[in-house]
């Protein structure tokens, strides 16, 4: 019994260290690779809806991953792709590929705060949040959509170039996954990202719907994951500019 | 004030027409001054507005001349710790068949941090779909003004000829009016910069980078660090510093227009002087009465000066009104011409004069009038009341006064010659010019007298009574005549000078065209050779060279670069082949080795006007800003070249490519095996590339006609000046004759009373007018010869750097003879009829 109590106390102490909570989130989401087809729905302030589809592949995880996101529909945007190389010690490198003019374009760090192709995501939001690039503070516990969560504050470290001054993170206690992120810039709330439709996919609890709300524009983007798979064999050479060009 | 109201106003009311004609000189001078300067200012303001509106929140701009720079520079700038935002820009003026459109190529991913696109509904979705906008290279964002003007809405197509062939661009967003959208008069379109590179054939190059500095960093600090970071080949400056080229060209117009308006005012001064002298003479008895009633000399002088102030003010105000009307037309003309010659985009939206200009116009107009009235006012104040109340004429210039004028004229002329020998000191040169004109003015009454006396026997032979009367009237009224003749002389001198410079320029340009522009065909990206928005890849030239009948293709790249803070034209081509085909004999430099050495990259050749205007000489080392650093090249030769008004530098294409990393081509100069192959080769070029790229093929004849058209445009203002000068001359004659008739009413009345026929009276006045015209022509031709010398010198050293030969414009002089004599005769018609039909009783009332 004592053993259990000690273990429970240790576990609670462990869980209440904000950094360790986020490390646990990262650990549980860890996979060698990820692949999905996404459906993106943008609803603007006037309720005008536009829908796009993309394919996403990621190799590696947190800090050193590489990913490719390629639009597949509608026809006018088919082939436009984004290549992201994440780094553990600095901001990611990002390139865009535009097949119609057959050229790549580097997305400068200064441009990461801009909207990603008219969605409510910014380029920065597409990066993975690596625990080593932020400082965390535990603010308390709250319930989000009926799920008990830890509420954390994260602030980017000096080397991390971010549009956000700080963010509040709600992490579900049951599966150690994000339930909600409120990202703030100097003016106040910039974006609210909500994670829902949580499912166990190959032993990794994953939110299959992500909704982003742009507080300034009052518009909303919903991303739904389909055909989600983890640990799919992938070739590193597929995550290069040359591969982007070849694939078009 | 009471005297002005009681005496002057009554006199003016009685002689309305004369005063109006007198004021015409001031009105014209002020109108030209206000019109030209307002137009210049408006064009410049439009240009700066376009720059400011496009700049948005930009604090610094990085550029490297017209050729732009490789994309890699962007990353260097973006990585600078001083830089918050750095976005690339391509700017081009295109014509999609719906007027000129300023095309702004920007990186839509980051540009909105710097520029507010003010999209309709304040919503990004006014760009129908941002992803589609980026994904499709035919996407275009236009302004509401442009969309309304051409009835465009989202999804509509706008066809444009591009370097990738004809394309239908799709309107995918509309910007609200105001801010950026009002730049270039709202004729603005925004597209993705990488799509713009393809469309314009620019390769992987940008025109400039717009920068906002990081918070806490001073702009000057960032500017200095970026300069060091990028090296000497790049310019890092504030957006306002752009447009030097435009301003320096507009300055030439300012100088030319200032000279014209000053000249018009100067001539107007003589008209006013003339009128006041006559007024003093006519009002002698009035002055005598005033003096007898106790008016002091000072009061009389003040009365006349007061009249001149009022005349100056009224003339200036009327001149401002006319000037503002003129400005609209001139602004459109100057703006269109600068766009044509320099390809610099601007759009004159509103033409408005600045307060300082209006104040200057009123001051100059009034001062001119007061200056002109100084001597007559002094004469009036010296009138002896006793003598004044006696009847008689006072038109003769005293022998002593005449002698003093002649001595003064000779002394001034001697001084002017002295200044001419030291003309390298510019203030002395201009002083000499002024002294020469003053000398001519002082000598004019004497010369006028000589010419009229010489003319008298001829006039008498032609018409014994009328001829003798007309000549005597002029000889006996030197004050009345000499002012007009002087005005006419100055006006015609200006016409001769301007005509002379136009003739010399034409001849020199034609000589240059024969040698320098001798290829059979010219292949360009634009209808106008001067626009450099679109460029060719070199491969097209290589393709043209393979066409049967083509002997040689010379690839020419022309870009503006800054040398000593002035934009000059860098012309880059294969110098060895130029030496073979279009060997311009150098003015300076070794003709045997020059071209070889330049072909080997050992130096450059510069145009004569560049050397003259920028004070360079043979052997001097030029510092040319290239993207890879400052390139130092010695001047190996100086040639006569009219490629550009600011001057040109001729460099071998290999050297250019090595340092600018730019292989683009503006013009292919195509030499054929035989001239008769021209239609076939032209057709083949169109067949090979016409559908694939934007391309225009000109024959040698087309090109020459085009360049001469440009030259005509450049001299368009000269013709305006000539028209102004002729108009002033005519006004002078009308004025004098009107005055003459009213002055001689009694004389003419007596003549009729003793049996003089109406036809004789009429004939006398006509002959008087013709004699004034003839005298003015003779003196104008002589003074014009001197004026031409000074104008050529000013043009050579201070305006265009063109070393033009002295060629007296005999043809213009010959045309002026019937024009002026005809104008004189027409001017005499009204006054002659007035003299003939005037009341005899009224005319003899005096007796």
Query: What confidence tens digit (pLDDT) does each residue in B356-385 have?
Result: 888 988 998 888 888 888 888 887 887 777
The tokens for B811 are 């043809």
pLDDT(B739) > 70: no
pLDDT score at A3: 40
Q: List chain B residues with CB under 8 Å of A110.
A: 78, 83-86, 110, 113
Closest partner CB to A101 (pick from B112, B121, B137): B137
B723 in a structural domain: no
A96 and B125: CB-CB below 8 Å?
no
* Mean pLDDT score, A124-152: 88
CA-based nearest distance B662→chain A, Å? 19
Distance separating alpha carbons of residues B6 and B13, to the nearest angstrom: 11
Q: Which helix H or strand E contains A150, and what residues bound it?
A: strand A147-156
B132 and A101: CB-CB below 8 Å?
no
Task: Report the 10 Å Cβ neighbour count for B369.
Answer: 30
3-state secondary structure (DSSP) of residue A65: coil
What separation, in Å, do the N-terminal and C-terminal C-alpha atoms of chain B show? Answer: 33
Q: Which chain A residue has its CA at the smallest distance from B72's CA?
A: A106
pLDDT score at B242: 65
Q: Which of A117-131, A230-244, B409-423 has the lowest mean pLDDT?
A: A117-131
Closest partner CB to A44 (pick from B83, B123, B137): B123
Backbone torsions φ then ψ of B680, nearest 5 degrees? -65, -45
The tokens for B388 are 């004044």
Q: List chain B residues with CB under 8 Å of A108.
A: 74-75, 78, 86, 110
CA-based nearest distance A76→chain B, Å? 6
Closest partner CB to B136 (pick from A44, A100, A115): A100
Best of B81, B110, B115 to disrupt the A interface (most A CBs within 10 Å) is: B110
Residue B687: partners with Cβ closer than 8 Å, 6 or more residues away: none
Domain closes at, from B675, B693, B711: B693
Q: How many CA atoms lie within 13 A of A49 on its CB side?
A: 5
pLDDT(A12) > 50: no
B651 in a structural domain: yes
A118 and B112: CB-CB below 8 Å?
no
A76 and B127: CB-CB below 8 Å?
no
Q: Which chain A residue has its CA at the smallest distance from B112's CA?
A: A114
Domain chopping of chain A, boundaries: 2-247
pLDDT score at B436: 92
* Mean pLDDT score, A95-102: 90
**Count of structural domains, chain B:** 2
* Mean pLDDT score, A78-85: 91
Domain around B561: 535-693
pLDDT score at B337: 62
Best of A48, A73, A117, A161 to disrupt the B interface (most B CBs within 10 Å) is: A117
According to CATH, the superfamily of the domain at A2-247 is Lipoprotein localisation LolA/LolB/LppX (2.50.20.10)
pLDDT score at B252: 63
B125 and A98: CB-CB below 8 Å?
no
Strands, sheet with B235-237, edge to edge from the N-terminal-most edge strand:
B157-162, B165-175, B139-143, B188-192, B101-106, B83-94, B208-213, B60-63, B235-237
- If pLDDT is split at 50, 70 and 90, which confidence band does A29 have? confident
Peptide bond into B604 cis (omega under 30): no
Tell me the pairing of strands B648-652 and B566-573. parallel
* Mean pLDDT score, B543-547: 95
pLDDT score at B248: 62
pLDDT(B155) > 80: yes
Greater model confidence, B538 or A109: B538
- If pLDDT is split at 50, 70 and 90, which confidence band does B519 have? very high
pLDDT score at A7: 39
* Mean pLDDT score, B386-403: 58
Write out pLDDT tens, residues B599-634: 999 999 999 989 988 889 999 999 998 888 889 999
- If pLDDT is split at 50, 70 and 90, which confidence band does B556 have? very high
Domain closes at, from B668, B693, B718: B693
* Mean pLDDT score, B542-568: 90
B131 and A118: CB-CB below 8 Å?
yes
Residue B44: partners with Cβ closer than 8 Å, 6 or more residues away: B243, B246, B247, B250
CA-based nearest distance B113→chain A, Å? 8
Distance separating alpha carbons of residues B403 and B415, to the nearest angstrom: 18
Closest partner CB to B132 (pick from A77, A106, A115): A77
A98 and B134: CB-CB below 8 Å?
yes
Distance separating alpha carbons of residues B327 and B35, to the nearest angstrom: 4
The tokens for B658 are 């090595």
B135 and A44: CB-CB below 8 Å?
no
Write out pLDDT tens, residues B191-222: 999 999 989 998 899 999 999 898 888 999 99
Q: List chain B residues with CB under 8 Å of A113.
A: 113
Write out pLDDT tens, residues B40-50: 778 777 777 77
Q: Which chain B residue has its CA at the smallest distance from A79's CA?
A: B135
The tokens for A41 are 């729905």
A105 and B195: CB-CB below 8 Å?
no
Sign of torsion over alpha carbons B259, B262, B267, B270: negative
A107 and B127: CB-CB below 8 Å?
no
B109 and A52: CB-CB below 8 Å?
no
B130 and A46: CB-CB below 8 Å?
no
Q: List chain B residues with CB under 8 Å of A98.
A: 134-135, 137, 194
pLDDT score at A14: 45
pLDDT(B341) > 80: no
Best of A48, A49, A54, A110 to disrupt the B interface (most B CBs within 10 Å) is: A110
* Mean pLDDT score, A172-182: 94
A-B contacts (CB, under 8 Å): 80
A118 and B78: CB-CB below 8 Å?
no
pLDDT(B37) > 70: yes
3-state secondary structure (DSSP) of residue A211: strand
pLDDT(A228) > 90: yes
B134 and A117: CB-CB below 8 Å?
yes
Residue B480: partners with Cβ closer than 8 Å, 6 or more residues away: B274, B277, B278, B395, B736, B739, B740, B743
B150 in a structural domain: yes
* Mean pLDDT score, A215-219: 84
B137 and A100: CB-CB below 8 Å?
yes
Q: Which chain A residue has its CA at the smallest distance from B131's CA?
A: A117
CA-based nearest distance B699→chain A, Å? 34
Closest partner CB to A110 (pick from B85, B121, B123): B85
B789 in a structural domain: no
Q: List chain B residues with CB under 8 Å of A44.
A: 123, 125
pLDDT(A169) > 80: yes
Closest partner CB to B130 (pick from A45, A100, A118): A118
B102 in a structural domain: yes
pLDDT score at B394: 47
- If pLDDT is split at 50, 70 and 90, which confidence band does A189 have? very high
Give B632: exposed, middle or buried? Use CB within 10 Å, 0-12, 13-18, 19+. Answer: exposed
Domain closes at, from B193, B210, B237: B237
Q: Which of B324-333, B379-388, B498-507, B509-518 has the lowest mean pLDDT?
A: B379-388
Q: Which chain B residue has its CA at the smallest distance from A107's CA?
A: B109
pLDDT(A142) > 80: yes
- If pLDDT is split at 50, 70 and 90, which confidence band does B225 have? very high
B123 and A100: CB-CB below 8 Å?
no
A118 and B125: CB-CB below 8 Å?
yes
Q: What residues of chain A have any CB closer than 8 angstroms to a CB in chain B?
A: 44-46, 48, 50, 52, 71, 74, 76-77, 79-80, 96, 98-101, 103, 105-111, 113-115, 117-118, 123, 217
B131 and A71: CB-CB below 8 Å?
yes
A107 and B109: CB-CB below 8 Å?
yes
Closest CA to A159 of A138, A139, A130: A130
How high is the mean pLDDT of chain B? 82
B308 in a structural domain: no
Q: List chain B residues with CB under 8 Å of A217.
A: 123-124
Closest partner CB to A118 (pick from B75, B113, B129): B129
In DSSP terms, A68 is beta-bridged to A57, A83
Give B755: exposed, middle or buried? Use CB within 10 Å, 0-12, 13-18, 19+. Answer: exposed
B740 in a structural domain: no
Number of H helices and E strands in chain B, helices first, is 29, 20
B113 and A110: CB-CB below 8 Å?
yes
């Amino acid at each position: 019994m004592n053993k259990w109590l000690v273990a429970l106390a240790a576990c609670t102490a462990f869980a209440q260290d904000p950094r360790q909570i986020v490390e646990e989130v990262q650990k549980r989401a860890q996979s060698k690779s990820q692949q999905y087809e996404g459906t993106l729905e943008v609803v603007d302030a006037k309720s005008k809806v536009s829908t796009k589809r993309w394919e996403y592949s990621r190799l590696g995880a947190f800090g050193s991953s590489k990913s490719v996101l390629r639009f597949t529909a509608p026809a006018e945007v088919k082939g436009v792709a984004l290549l992201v190389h994440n780094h553990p010690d600095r901001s990611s490198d990002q390139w865009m590929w535009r097949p119609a003019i057959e050229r790549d374009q580097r997305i400068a760090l200064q441009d990461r705060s801009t909207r990603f192709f008219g969605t409510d995501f910014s380029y920065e939001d597409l990066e993975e949040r690596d625990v080593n690039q932020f400082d965390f503070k535990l603010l308390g516990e709250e319930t989000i959509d009926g799920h008990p969560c830890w509420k954390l504050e994260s602030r980017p470290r000096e080397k991390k170039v971010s549009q956000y001054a700080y963010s509040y993170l709600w992490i579900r206690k049951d599966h150690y996954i994000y339930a909600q992120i409120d990202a703030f810039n100097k003016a106040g709330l910039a974006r609210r990202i909500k994670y829902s439709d949580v499912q166990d996919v190959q032993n990794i609890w994953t939110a299959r719907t992500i909704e982003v709300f742009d507080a300034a524009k009052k518009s909303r983007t919903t991303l739904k994951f389909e055909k989600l798979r983890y640990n799919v064999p992938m070739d590193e050479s597929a995550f290069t500019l040359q591969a982007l060009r070849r694939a078009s | 004030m009471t005297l002005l109201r009681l005496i002057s106003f009554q006199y003016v009311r009685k002689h309305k027409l004369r005063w109006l004609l007198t004021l015409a000189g001031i009105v014209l001078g002020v109108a030209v001054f206000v019109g030209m300067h307002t137009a210049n200012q408006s064009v410049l303001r439009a240009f700066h507005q376009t720059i400011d509106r496009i700049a948005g929140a930009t604090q610094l701009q990085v550029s490297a001349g017209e050729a732009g720079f490789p994309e890699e520079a962007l990353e260097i700038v973006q990585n600078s710790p001083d830089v918050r935002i750095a976005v690339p820009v391509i700017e081009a003026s295109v014509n999609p068949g719906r007027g000129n459109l300023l095309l702004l190529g920007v990186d839509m991913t980051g540009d909105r941090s710097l520029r507010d696109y003010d999209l309709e509904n304040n919503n990004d979705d006014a760009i129908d779909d941002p992803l589609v906008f980026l994904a499709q290279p035919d996407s275009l964002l236009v302004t509401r003004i442009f969309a309304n003007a051409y009835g465009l809405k989202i999804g509509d197509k706008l066809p444009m000829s591009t370097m990738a062939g004809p394309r239908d661009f799709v309107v995918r967003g509309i910007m609200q009016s105001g801010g950026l959208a009002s730049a270039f008069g709202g004729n603005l379109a925004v597209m993705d910069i990488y799509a713009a590179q393809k469309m314009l054939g620019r390769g992987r190059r940008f025109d400039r980078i717009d920068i906002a500095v990081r918070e806490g960093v001073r702009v000057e600090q960032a500017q200095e660090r970026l300069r060091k970071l990028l090296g000497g080949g790049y310019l890092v400056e504030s957006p306002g510093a752009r447009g030097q080229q435009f301003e320096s060209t507009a300055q030439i117009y300012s100088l030319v227009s200032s000279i014209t308006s000053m000249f018009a005012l100067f001539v107007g001064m003589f008209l006013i002087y003339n009128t006041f002298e006559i007024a003093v003479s006519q009002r002698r008895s009035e002055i005598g009465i005033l003096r007898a009633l106790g008016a002091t000399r000072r009061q009389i002088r003040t009365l006349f000066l007061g009249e001149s102030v009022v005349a100056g003010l009224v003339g200036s105000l009327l001149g401002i009104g006319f000037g503002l009307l003129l400005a609209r037309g001139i602004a459109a003309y100057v703006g269109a011409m600068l766009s044509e010659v320099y390809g610099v985009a601007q759009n004159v939206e509103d033409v408005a004069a600045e307060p300082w200009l209006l104040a200057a116009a009123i001051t100059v107009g009034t001062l001119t009038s007061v200056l002109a009235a100084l001597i007559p006012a002094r004469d009036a104040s010296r009138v002896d009341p006793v003598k004044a109340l006696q009847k008689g004429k006072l038109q003769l210039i005293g022998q002593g006064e005449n002698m003093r004028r002649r001595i003064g004229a000779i002394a001034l002329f001697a001084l002017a010659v002295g200044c001419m020998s030291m003309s390298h000191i510019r203030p002395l040169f201009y002083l000499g010019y002024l002294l020469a004109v003053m000398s001519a003015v002082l000598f004019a009454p004497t010369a006028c007298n000589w010419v009229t006396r010489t003319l008298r026997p001829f006039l008498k032979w032609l018409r014994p009574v009328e001829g003798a009367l007309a000549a005597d009237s002029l000889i006996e009224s030197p004050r009345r005549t000499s002012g007009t003749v002087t005005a006419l002389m100055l006006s015609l001198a200006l016409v001769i000078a301007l005509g002379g410079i136009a003739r010399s320029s034409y001849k020199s340009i034609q000589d240059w065209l024969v040698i320098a522009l001798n290829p059979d065909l010219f292949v360009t990206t634009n209808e106008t050779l001067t626009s450099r928005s679109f460029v060719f890849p070199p491969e097209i030239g290589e393709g043209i060279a393979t066409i049967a009948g083509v002997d040689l293709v010379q690839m020419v790249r022309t870009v503006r670069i800054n040398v000593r803070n002035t934009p000059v034209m860098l012309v880059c081509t294969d110098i060895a082949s130029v030496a073979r085909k279009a060997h311009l004999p150098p003015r300076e430099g070794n003709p045997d080795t020059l071209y070889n050495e330049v072909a080997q990259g050992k130096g450059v050749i510069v145009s004569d006007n560049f050397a003259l205007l920028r004070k360079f000489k043979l052997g001097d080392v030029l510092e040319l800003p290239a993207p890879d650093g400052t390139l130092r090249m010695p001047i190996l030769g100086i040639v006569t070249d009219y490629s550009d008004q600011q001057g040109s530098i001729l460099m071998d294409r290999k050297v250019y490519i090595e340092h600018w990393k730019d292989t683009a081509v503006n013009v292919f100069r195509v030499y054929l095996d035989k001239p008769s192959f021209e239609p076939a080769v032209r057709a083949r070029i169109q067949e090979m590339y016409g559908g694939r790229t934007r391309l225009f093929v000109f024959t040698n004849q087309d090109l020459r006609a085009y360049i001469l058209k440009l030259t005509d445009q450049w001299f368009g203002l000269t013709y305006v000046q000539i028209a102004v000068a002729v108009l002033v001359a005519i006004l002078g004659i009308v004025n004098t004759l009107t005055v003459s008739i009213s002055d001689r009413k009694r004389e003419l009345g007596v003549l009729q009373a003793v049996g003089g026929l109406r036809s004789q009276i009429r004939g006398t006045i006509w002959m008087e007018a013709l004699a004034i015209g003839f005298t003015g022509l003779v003196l104008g031709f002589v003074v014009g010869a001197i004026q031409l010398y000074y104008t050529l010198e000013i043009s050579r050293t201070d305006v265009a750097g063109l070393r033009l030969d002295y060629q007296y414009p005999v043809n213009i002089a010959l045309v002026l003879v019937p024009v002026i004599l005809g104008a004189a005769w027409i001017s005499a018609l009204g006054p002659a009829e007035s003299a003939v039909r005037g009341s005899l009783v009224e005319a003899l009332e005096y007796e």
